Structure 1
Amino acid sequence: MEDFWIPRNLDATPLLFIWEADIAFVYVSWVVIGGILEMLTVGLIFSVIVGRAYARLKEEGGPGLILKFLYWYTPSEFWLSKNLPSNVREYCG
């Protein structure tokens, strides 16, 4: 029988090695930025600080916290439909 990981629920986030993909992306992106700026040690330290803060924030607020934040604090052109206003329920014509 093959050994493979079966998620316990349907909402399980994708994994990158042992980390969730979005948290791993935060770590890797800051390490890359530190490498580009030729400050790899600073990038590593900053990635640990920001990555742990992001993981803690994600645990406290649930899986949709970042999307909720983006919905409420970014311009509505990014999230709302440009075709129909949300307050109109019926169209005659």
Structure 2
Amino acid sequence: MNQDDFMIPRNLDAPPLMFMWEADSAAIYILFVFLGALMQMFLFGIFCAVVVGRAYARLKEEGGKGLLMKIIYWYTPSTWLTQRHPSHIREFYGE
């Protein structure tokens, strides 16, 4: 093993990268471009990749970690995820 075989992140909270982009954002772009190419609609795939990728980046900036679970918890019926109070009552309890 060589010491140069390892990459040390700049800080502990550094996200995993794919080349110079964050891995999750890059995966969204690649997926939509690939699906567009498979359906022989390459330009539509690029358009969808840009729209969905930017929406995901904005959502990620605003909400932080666990935002999707928070949205599911607050805006779905309580019997889907948990056996607690319905969402309109949870608001009063602060749960």
Given candidates 4, 9, 32, the residue that maps to 1:6 is: 9
Aligned equivalent of 2:36: 34
The structure where helix makes up a greater share of residues is: 2
Distance 2:76 2:37 in 1: 30
- Residue 35 of structure 1 and its aligned partner are, at CA, apart by 1.1
Gaps of at least 5 residues in structure 1 are: 87-93
Distance 2:77 2:23 in 1: 27
- Ranked by relative contact order (alpha carbons within 8 Å, sequence separation 6 or more), the top structure is 1
Count of aligned residue pairs for this structure pair: 82
- 2:54 is equivalent to residue 59 of structure 1: no
Q: TM-score, normalised by structure 2?
A: 0.63
The alignment's C-alpha RMSD in Å is 2.7
Gaps of at least 5 residues in structure 2 are: 85-95
Distance 2:64 2:17 in 1: 17
The structure-2 alpha-carbon separation of the partners of 1:73 and 1:38, relative to structure 1 and needing over 3 Å to count, comes to farther
